[in-house]
Amino acid sequence: MGLPLMMERKSNNNNNNVVELSRVAVSDTHGEDSPYFAGWKAYDENPYDESHNPSGVIQMGLAENQVSFDLLESYLEKKNPEGSMWGSKGAPGFRENALFQDYHGLKSFRQAMASFMEQIRGGLASFDPDRIVLTAGATAANELLTFILADPNDALLVPTPYYPGFDRDLRWRTGVKIVPIHCDSSNHFQITTEALEEAYQTARDANIRVRGVLITNPSNPLGATVQKKVLEDLLDFCVRKNIHLVSDEIYSGSVFHGSEFTSVAEIVENIDDVTVRERVHIVYSLSKDLGLPGFRVGTIYSYNDHVVRTARRMSSFTLVSSQTQHMLASMLSDKEFTEKYIRINRERLRRRYETIVEGLKKAGIECLKGNAGLFCWMNLGFLLDKKTKDGELELWDVILKELKLNISPGSSCHCSEFGWFRVCFANMSEKTLEIALKRIHEFMDGRRRF
């Protein structure tokens, strides 16, 4: 796959009087010119709507969780009749919220986050609220950690396929590189020690210093949890190379069967040696599990005191408003509610997943066996004329223009095998999902006739 190219600086000095911008401002590392985002544009121009635009583009490229809003709403109705909870217990609470801009974050909110994260892990790991650093979303958390763990031109190793946003989030302002750890379908895209060693060596050969490994568990775009043995081997590897391990667990609450998820926190829980513990950092957010991306609530949980202190100070660039913290603190610490929410949300996601996978199977399409997340990893390799990136993008374009479905091509996730696509299923109604499946069936039927 190769290393990311050096960003080219656009010449903007054609005229002595035109004022210059920075490299960061003119670079295209934001990636918004890639196909991943082109599909979004097509959707924006012709969005599907059940009643008003039934032939529009169905957005299956956005990993958003809309299946459990009713649970949030009924909780709010019951516990918060006049909005008193969210109205900051009437007027007096407002004063604290309005002034509070401490980068430590509200203690009550951090406690609530810690408790919620523990619940998701079935109590198999404990979280210390003082190790929680709040950021305005997981995007900010990943960038912040990258600033702290790596210097410009250093690298993080990231297993492929990975979330396309990482190219931007981990590299743009930080100047840090991503070196891919190649995974393939022969073992369901699990990370192997050989692949880790190979990636590490690739970096060394290019004189790049590796500072850490960043994984997403459960994986985006695979929609599958990382096996416990793989996590242990990964931690071994990081210890051997003396590098960091970042685990983005943003989908941890979206694992269909809770027992199938092993968090890196569980492994660290049984380790006393601080020199091992302190290289582990977890990223979390409420955007996926709670379906609240608009709230911009993310967190870094680090076992490293230095990292916690540094992240806290740097979080002043990305604080969560105290009003938001206050609003969520009581809801997240209501164990009865969160237990019920986690359970029902998982169940609904599981059913959605089964619907889409079976629907695809009937159309002759296989998916990777998944057990988590808001999407499935679909294999259309057999439809490609040529098993190349161009071949894949041609098929993607057909799916976008003819089927009017925006899905994400594997190449935008740096997958080394062509023909895989990520398909989101939780950001729409069941009816819309059926329509999407119907379009796919018709398309496949059409192809079979030839």
Contact 235, 242 (CB under 8 A): no
Establish whether 288 is a catalytic residue. yes
Q: How far is the CB of 237 from other proteins (least distance, A)?
A: 10
Contact 356, 425 (CB under 8 A): yes
| Encoded amino acid at 149, one letter | L
Task: Measure the CA–CA gap between 256 and 267, rounded to whole angstroms.
Answer: 21
* DSSP per residue, 86-152: TTTTTHHHHHHHHH---TT--HHHHHHHHHHHHHHTTTSS---GGGEEEESSHHHHHHHHHHHH--T
Establish whether 250 is a catalytic residue. yes
Task: Measure the CA–CA gap between 321 and 106, rounded to whole angstroms.
Answer: 10
Establish whether 248 is a catalytic residue. yes
Helix pair angle (35-45, 389-401), 10° resolution: 10
Closest CB to other proteins among residues 296, 352: 296
Q: How far is the CB of 318 from other proteins (least distance, A)?
A: 5
Q: How far is the CB of 62 from other proteins (least distance, A)?
A: 7
| Encoded amino acid at 182, one letter | H
Catalytic one of 58, 120, 243, 250: 250
Closest CB to other proteins among residues 25, 450: 25
Task: Measure the CA–CA gap between 246 and 254, rounded to whole angstroms.
Answer: 19
Catalytic one of 248, 300, 341, 365: 248
Catalytic one of 288, 289, 356, 404: 288
How many alpha carbons lie under 13 Å from residue 37 in its C-beta half-sphere? 10
Q: How far is the CB of 339 from other proteins (least distance, A)?
A: 19
Establish whether 228 is a catalytic residue. no
SS3 373: coil
Contact 150, 156 (CB under 8 A): yes
Task: Measure the CA–CA gap between 47 and 185, rounded to whole angstroms.
Answer: 33
Checking DSSP bridges between strand 375-379 and strand 420-424, what pairing results, if any? antiparallel
Q: Identify the bridge partners of residue 275 per DSSP, sorted by sequence position.
A: none
Closest CB to other proteins among residues 203, 380: 203
Closest CB to other proteins among residues 298, 381: 298
Task: Measure the CA–CA gap between 404 and 56, rounded to whole angstroms.
Answer: 7
Q: How far is the CB of 382 from other proteins (least distance, A)?
A: 34
Contact 289, 343 (CB under 8 A): no
Q: How far is the CB of 165 from other proteins (least distance, A)?
A: 8
Closest CB to other proteins among residues 367, 424: 424
Closest CB to other proteins among residues 295, 377: 295
Q: How far is the CB of 139 from other proteins (least distance, A)?
A: 5
Closest CB to other proteins among residues 250, 307: 307
Q: Which residues form the catalytic set?
A: 163, 248, 250, 288
